[in-house]
Amino acid sequence: MINEKMLAALNRQVIWEMYSAYFYLSMSAYFESTGFRGFANWMRVQAQEELFHAMKFYDYIVSRGGRVTLLQIDQPPEEWASPLKVFEDVLAHERKVTGLISGLVDLAIAEKDHAAWSMLQWFVNEQVEEEENAEEIVKKVRMVGDEKGVGLLYMLDKELATRVFTPPAGGAK
């Protein structure tokens, strides 16, 4: 059975992951409206990943005998000044999520919840990948901006169009 502190924190994380999906869908809609369909695709795939993460937390709560409580999801931003600003926001967002996951790990340690600690290690590793991917794209978009090359931005858009969502083996649990 999961303790109340851990349950409350994990329920907040479910909502945060759902917000993350909304956040990336909003970015996808922004890119669709500006004609950057590859960027839009990347964001849509990222939204799918975030929903997967939410369900992973959801399923863990249920498996430990807890009750999932779905709280209100805030509305994400709708407009950005440029593709660079979007990806800078992605990086900042992923750094925030990394901090939230670290807080959950700290709570699991404090509560001596070894099962939660073990489950959270997957998310710790996932956040390393999430930040690395965001940083890489920020660097590429900055480089394109330095070149003032529309052709380079077009090539990056085509590259990001190839991303597909592949759920990790074993499903959400």
The 10s digit of each residue's pLDDT in 26-62 is 999 999 999 999 999 999 999 999 999 999 999 999 9
Q: Return the pLDDT at 150.
A: 63
Q: State the sign of the Cα–Cα–Cα–Cα dihedral 76, 80, 83, 87.
A: negative
Burial code of 136-148, b = ≥16 C-beta within 10 A, e = fewer?
ebbebbeebeeee
Q: Return the pLDDT at 83.
A: 92
Give Cα 2 distance to the centre of its chain: 25
Share of the chain above pLDDT 70, in %: 94
Token code pair at residue 1? 């059975």
| Domains of the chain by start residue, with CATH | 4-70+77-160 (1.20.1260.10)
Q: Which residues contact 157 (CB under 8 A, 6 or more apart)?
A: 36, 37, 38, 39
Distances (CA, A) of 87 to 113, 150, 160, 173: 35, 17, 12, 29
State whether residue 39 is helix, strand or coil. helix
Q: Report the candidate in 102, 119, 117, 110 with the shortest Cα–Cα distance to residue 5.
A: 110
What is the rounded CA–CA span in Å between residue 94 and residue 43?
13
Give Cα 153 distance to the centre of its chain: 23
Ordered per-residue pLDDT tens for the chain, 173 residues:
899 999 999 999 999 999 999 999 999 999 999 999 999 999 999 999 999 999 999 999 999 999 999 999 999 999 999 999 999 999 999 999 999 999 999 999 999 999 999 999 999 999 999 999 999 999 988 887 655 566 677 788 888 888 888 887 765 55
Q: Which residues contact 13 (CB under 8 A, 6 or more apart)?
A: 57, 100, 101, 104
What is the rounded CA–CA span in Å between residue 33 and residue 39?
11
Q: State the sign of the Cα–Cα–Cα–Cα dihedral 127, 133, 135, 137.
A: negative
